[in-house]
Amino acid sequence: MTGPATDRPIRVVVADDHPVFRSGLRTLVQENAALDFAGEAADGEHAVQVCEQQRPDVILMDVRMPGVSGIDATRRIVSSHPDVGILMLTMLEDDTSVLAAMRAGARGYILKGAAPDEIVRAIVAVAAGEAIFGAAIAARMAEFFRAGSRAAAQPFPALSTREHDILNLVAAGEPNPAIAARLGLSEKTIRNNVSSIFAKLRVADRPAAIVRAREAGLG
């Protein structure tokens, strides 16, 4: 895949729910002659809309945003516009988020603590069709592939097979009685497993578990 024509700036959209950080990224883009600020969004749904309207070369996409997450937005954008390069820019560096972003079609993943010149280099690389990771992320990915275990390849490796199956159905919006019927288990067993899932995911309730699961590509 080729990047944008070399005789024009790279069109960039910024999607992040934190106004101050979004403003900083906007300034970074606007002050670089190689880049052209094409718009911004405060959540995933708006990011999809801005992409449809502006057709940027690259979107700087936060992973966790209210409503539609950055990973869900990435999946939708890449499905409709595979030529748009998605660069995930986030505070998170856990394996689950990295792998979910890659499965969704993101071409790059760097941390928000990256230096401005590193962010610009990543934008240019992603616009050219390259895959890029920040140094910290690259080290974690190398370790992941060295491990190569089946458990590591699956999101939320701390979950048992049964818990993973239940979480997948929870992420799909199924209530406990329906999950019990689908899996041939009692509702009490499902409730106990759901409580265990919440503890392992470190979430307080079902909506939070659904967000985590969908960010990881479940449901």
What number does CATH give the domain 154-215?
A: 1.10.10.10
Centre a 10 Å sphere on the Cβ of residue 83 and count the other Cβ atoms it contains: 12
- Give residue 178's pLDDT: 92
Query: Which among 66, 57, 78 has a CA at the least distance from the CA of 14?
Result: 57
- Confirm if 40 and 26 have CB atoms less than 8 A apart: yes
CA distances from 207 to 70, 99, 198, 211, 212 (A): 17, 22, 10, 6, 9
Characterise 109 by phi-psi region: left (phi > 0), alpha (psi -120 to 50), beta (else): beta
- Give residue 113's pLDDT: 82
User: Which of the residues in the chain have pLDDT under 50?
Assistant: 1-3, 149-152
- Give residue 215's pLDDT: 82
What number does CATH give the domain 10-147?
A: 3.40.50.2300
Count of residues for the chain? Answer: 219
Domains 10-147 and 154-215 belong to one CATH topology: no
**Domains of the chain, residue spans:** 10-147, 154-215
Burial class, 45, CB count within 10 angstroms (exposed 0-12 / middle 13-18 / buried 19+): middle
